[in-house]
Amino acid sequence: MFAHDFFVNLGDYFFKMATEKGFTGILPAVKACFSIACLNLKNIISVLPDKSGELMPKLIKTLEFAESIKKKIDSDPIKYDI
């Protein structure tokens, strides 16, 4: 879980930079962080069964956020891409 949480926290930090300070060119880094977090969580779920049922909703939430960032970048690549 540490790897997932690390990349989510890093992605949150970059997202705050993009939204609060106007660094919109950093959105690809946000997407990358959340995509890596998804992969880490997916690997954790594949190795350790999710008996409590809390990991899958977390994976879905992280994946949906990464996809929304990708759509935002794709909507105006000149503005939002590095």
What residue segments make up the domains of the chain, in order of their start? Answer: 2-76
Look up the pTM and report it. Answer: 0.77
Average pLDDT by stretches of 10, the chain with 82 residues: 84 90 87 89 83 84 87 81 60
Distance, in Å, from the CA atom of 53 to the CA atom of 28, rounded to the nearest integer, reads: 30
SS3 label, residue 49: coil
pLDDT of residue 44: 84
Cβ distance 7 to 33 under 8 Å?
A: yes
* H or E segment and range at residue 2: helix 2-20
Distance, in Å, from the CA atom of 25 to the CA atom of 6, rounded to the nearest integer, reads: 21
Instruction: Please state which architecture CATH assigns to domain 2-76.
Output: Up-down Bundle (1.20)
Phi, psi of 49 (to 5 degrees): -60, 140
pLDDT of residue 81: 66
